[in-house]
Chain A
Amino acid sequence: MGKKKRGHPDVEELLSRPWCYYCERDFEDLKLLISHQKAKHFKCDRCGKRLNTAGGLSVHMNQVHKENLTSVENALPNRQGLEIEIFGMEGVPDDIIQQHNQRIIQNFYTAQAERQAATGNPPRGLSGGQGPAKKLKYETPEELKKRLAEHRANAAARKAAGTTGAPAAAPPADGQSPAQATPPFSAPQSGYPYPAPGAAPPYPAAPSYPPTAGAFPPGATPLPARPPSGSGAPGAPPYFYNGGAAPSTVDELVANAARQGGPGGDDIDHMIRMAEAGIRPGAGKAGAAEEAGAGGGAGEKRKKGTRMVYGDTEVSPEEKMAMLPRYRWIEETAA
């Protein structure tokens, strides 16, 4: 996606894209989706025959190869089941559709906020034919001062309330942009299965402000589309589970498969790339040791809970095993 168009599609466009139940990838049209499913999920690994459904593949495996299909290949861990008959978008359970849509919306708004942060441009549809953005230019200094004061009070109140994140993007003046003020689907909830990247507040942030922080009445929202101030903005690039680009490299595939490569993972990636690029052997070694120390100890905020099952960067598992009484070899047995 996004290959043909230079601009960013709007949320309806994203939501209307057909997507694959098994791997959550989305496609330009249904035909592509079906051919993807046949190639990736319903292909017989014995003879390469492409079936239309998982059930069809199961029957084929049984009859032709006398084998039992137990799971759908290349599927996300909780989507490997054969019980659900999927063909294109048919058969996808409603709750899964809801989840998917919420994820798309979440990604969309996060991406939009990021773009705004990066470019300083107002959201699409606000800069064009619509009035408010232009009108605002004619605000009197008094009005501006008032709004600035409101904004500061608001920020201070929020800070006091312990919310550290900067406003991802203040909502536009109410009623101006129905598409954004009232998204067709509810804002992502906390029980949302895909972790929110950077824990950036979902776009329609205003309603979630604690009432005590309401230094300004709802409706008199300040500064449309003001980019988030640098300090508390989600620093890591947004994590596109599939929303950014179709996975085309091993990296992306793996990242997608891992499904957890949130900002933490990106940070590590970044660090490692930095290390690869610039750090000399000695320094690199020290860095690795530090990293391992952090991995084992308590101070692993950056790693976001990433845990290595084997963390010693100097001594191999074999060397440790060789020291165990069970395997130790002592010279005198040879003498």
Chain B
Amino acid sequence: MAPAAQFEAAQPPKDAISALVFAPGPSRRLLASSWDKNVYLYEVANGAEEANLVGTFEHRAPVLDVCFGADENEAFIAGMDHQVKRIDLATGEQTTLGKHTAPVRCVVYSPQHSLLVSASWDSTLQVRSTTDASQPPLTIPLPGKPHALAASPSKVVVAMTARLVHIYDLPTLASALSSSNPQAAPPPQPWQQRESSLKFLTRAVACMPNDAGYSTSSIEGRVAVEWFEDSAESQARKYAFKCHRQAAPEDEGGGDVVYPVNALAFHPLYGTFASGGGDGTVALWDAEAKRRMRQYQKFPESVAALSFSGDGRFLAIAVCPGFETGMEDYSGEGRTKVFIRELGETEAKGKGAK
């Protein structure tokens, strides 16, 4: 592999990274939320192979997720202190948008509908309009604790405990929110309720940019790809495969060491996707052809998050120690890094189905 096409962001977060996202569009800004209670804003330099820290935004509790808003100057964060906040990245101004009754696990913003969806361990989703701050949020009860959340142009996928997956239709949510009295009406029902194709706890969800489907990953080294369309032929297309495993040495009894697949990210243009695992590797997959396109050389620690830039030129990789069973004194201090990989012209382009 070519290590020179990959560079490390200066001044990485001081503790484990919970989320990493590129700004939408051609922007080269990158946000990382960290367990050290800060959100870090980086910018990939033009031409030079470096990414510099533009600013940090301190929160009062660990930040569990972050996403960009309508443009590269707006961000939303999910806090362990139950809060959902908006940060103006230009001025540094922070506004609390609302509260859950438990730590907020994920936030996702839909630019198409100007909706912010937050998922909390209090087993609710909150949907709020970002254009009208006065409007009370819509609260949707969930049957389980959410672990991952992702939005496509028209859908939101929530993966929960007990392998539950709910898919909500964004236009439905938007109209429910704007109806005269959202609190009185029964909360909108999911557009589809599914059971995860994976047998183990869902770790990450990512939606296809073309709105056709999504992929999920589990703690048991497996990734599934499924389609939204509820027809028999579409559902027959879904598949799952093993990845992010390592052969254990023979003297330890052989078999496989199975790592969680912590991160999934679809390429914005090609519809291929990347997976990052606890084994510290990142692989690129062609969802159509069902092939692995490449696997990058191992990173020093577990891959915690992945994000493609809006133009698909860069892949950001958050690396920090993975939380493994039995850890009682976890710390990502000093071992957390952000790598940015500049992709070659066709590096992430699939060959299409065979």
Interface segment out of the listed B85-93, B126-134, B246-254, B263-271:
B246-254
Q: Is A326 an interface residue, CB under 8 A from the partner?
A: yes
Complex CA distance for A261 and B35, rounded to whole angstroms: 36
| A319-B121, A324-B330, A334-B60 given; A305·B248 CB < 8 A | yes
Set of chain A residues within 8 Å of B201, measured between Cβ atoms: 312-314, 316
Complex CA distance for A320 and B285, rounded to whole angstroms: 30
Complex CA distance for A307 and B247, rounded to whole angstroms: 10
Which residue of the partner chain B has the closest CB to A319? Answer: B121
Set of chain A residues within 8 Å of B163, measured between Cβ atoms: 281, 284-285, 288
Interface segment out of the listed A63-71, A86-94, A105-113, A212-220:
A63-71
Q: Mark B218-229, 1 if CB is under 8 A from A, else 0.
A: 011100000000
Interface of B is mostly: loop
Interface size of B by Cβ–Cβ distance < 8 Å? Answer: 72
Set of chain B residues within 8 Å of A265, measured between Cβ atoms: 242, 256
Interface size of A by Cβ–Cβ distance < 8 Å? Answer: 68
Cross-chain contact of B344 among A48, A251, A326, A329 (Cβ < 8 A): A48
| A46-B2, A285-B162 given; A310·B322 CB < 8 A | yes
Complex CA distance for A48 and B260, rounded to whole angstroms: 32
Q: Is A321 an interface residue, CB under 8 A from the partner?
A: yes
Q: Are B199 and A258 in contact (CB under 8 A)?
A: no
Q: Is B147 an interface residue, CB under 8 A from the partner?
A: yes
Set of chain B residues within 8 Å of A260, measured between Cβ atoms: 245, 247-248, 254-256
Which residue of the partner chain B has the closest CB to A69? Answer: B2
Interface segment out of the listed B169-177, B205-213, B292-300, B309-317:
B292-300
Determine which residue in A65, A67, A195, A327 has the highest number of CB atoms from chain B within 10 A of its CB, and name it: A327
Complex CA distance for A318 and B3, rounded to whole angstroms: 31
Q: Are B247 and A258 in contact (CB under 8 A)?
A: yes
Cross-chain contact of A255 among B60, B200, B242, B248 (Cβ < 8 A): B242
Q: Are B292 and A254 in contact (CB under 8 A)?
A: yes
Set of chain A residues within 8 Å of B252, measured between Cβ atoms: 305
* Residues 286-335 of A contacting B (Cβ, < 8 Å): 287-288, 291-292, 296, 303-322, 324, 326-327, 329, 331, 333-334
Q: Is A47 an interface residue, CB under 8 A from the partner?
A: yes
| A284-B199, A309-B324, A324-B330 given; A68·B3 CB < 8 A | yes
Q: Are B290 and A74 in contact (CB under 8 A)?
A: no
Set of chain A residues within 8 Å of B31, measured between Cβ atoms: none
Q: Are B103 and A251 in contact (CB under 8 A)?
A: no
Q: Are B260 and A309 in contact (CB under 8 A)?
A: yes
Q: Mark A76-91, 1 if CB is under 8 A from B, else 0.
A: 0000000000000000
| A47-B344, A48-B346, A71-B1 given; A316·B147 CB < 8 A | yes
Question: 8 additional contacts, CB 8 Å, given A45-B344, A249-B291, A308-B220?
Answer: A260-B255, A272-B199, A281-B163, A307-B258, A312-B219, A315-B161, A324-B328, A326-B331
Q: Which are the 9 A-B pairs with shortest beta-carbon distances? A: A305-B255, A305-B253, A317-B323, A329-B61, A67-B4, A260-B247, A250-B290, A306-B255, A67-B2
